[in-house]
Structure 1
Amino acid sequence: MPIVNIQLIAGRSQEQLKALVADVTAAVVKDTGAPAEHVHVILDEMQKNRYSVGGVLKSDEK
């Protein structure tokens, strides 16, 4: 049972997220041979004020 955990900043549309999980599932099936119904994809969305790069919150970027 492959489990894929994807962390990303919130703000993508439902259609984008659906496409992402479909593409990731297809890649795992192709590369591992696991059946699609056994592939678990977890999306962990973070708000921009809860994620920083180089000490700067993404919500403070211009």
Structure 2
Amino acid sequence: MPIVTINLVAGRDRETVQECLRQVAETVARTLDAPLSSVRVVAQEVDPGLWCVGGVLKSEQAATGEPPVAP
């Protein structure tokens, strides 16, 4: 049973994240030749104040004028 965990900064709309989960599940099932019903995909959203890239919190990026950094 394949299990995929996606960690991402919170803030995207729910429908977008749900579509990502579906697409990932389908891709994993296809590429691993596994039944789709056996694939588990979970998204863990992290508060922007608890995600730091290069010493800059994601929640501070807009306030500091730092360019966006991919998580």
TM-score, normalization by structure 2: 0.83
Shift of 1:59: 0.5
Unaligned runs of 5+ in 2: 63-71
TM-score, normalization by structure 1: 0.94
Counterpart mapping for 1:34-49 below 5 A = 34-49=34-49
Number of residue pairs matched? 62
Higher relative contact order (CA 8 A, sep 6+): 1
Q: CA RMSD in A?
A: 0.7
Unaligned runs of 5+ in 1: none
Counterpart mapping for 1:1-62 below 5 A = 1-62=1-62
Shift of 1:13: 1.2
* Runs of at least 4 residues off by over 3 Å: none
